[in-house]
Amino acid sequence: MATEHQVRIAEALGVDVSGDSESVAAARILDEVAFAIGERNGRRPATERQVEYGQCLGLRVGAESLRVAAAKIHEALRRRSVDALRTLDLKPGDRVVRRPVFEPHGEPHETPQEFVISSIQSNSRVFFKGGHGQSAWPTQLEKVDIQGSHHAHPADGVGR
């Protein structure tokens, strides 16, 4: 939820942040003060791409500003990552498969890669041993059990 400080500032500006998270409240406040703090652009509408992506995530951001839409999309992706970490019960040492899909000539081509988790950052990003910095969001992974079979993928194909 919005902090007490954000609520006070928003009230002074005539901006409603009731029910907003900290990041969404911050985006609404920034939209309101953008010109006053020297930004060239004030409140701008959400982009068509944000609206479409938001719909894929179950969000309605068409009436929101670019900043607010970005904050809401970021929060939805964060929730999905946290849920996937919990569902898959991922931890360092676990074996996982990432299945990136490429479309070299208009035809999908899947290239599954297996990794061992080296660490999981506080933002839910999963890093791999020997991966030279390779990483993925947990929504992009399947956990491999000891017998080598794969657990169900936690995401519905959207997100990070």
66 lies in the same domain as 21: yes
Residue 17 clears pLDDT 90, i.e. is over it: yes
> pLDDT band for position 59 (50/70/90)?
very high
110 lies in the same domain as 69: no
24 lies in the same domain as 53: yes
Residue 44 in domain:
yes
60 lies in the same domain as 101: no
70 lies in the same domain as 97: no
95 lies in the same domain as 58: no
Mean pLDDT of 72-87: 96
Residue 152 in domain:
no
Residue span of the structural domain in which 16 resides: 4-85
Contacts 24+ apart (CB under 8 A), 81-84: 81/123, 81/124, 81/137, 81/138, 81/139, 81/159, 81/160, 82/124, 83/154, 84/124, 84/137, 84/138, 84/139, 84/141, 84/154, 84/155
pTM of the predicted structure, to 2 decimals: 0.80
Dump pLDDT digits (tens) for 92-140.
999 999 987 777 777 777 788 999 999 999 999 999 998 788 999 999 9
Query: Number of folded domains in the chain?
Result: 2
Residue 149 in domain:
no
Phi/psi at 53 (5° precision): -65, -40
d(CA 84, CA 88): 6
Dump pLDDT digits (tens) for 30-51.
999 999 999 888 899 999 999 9
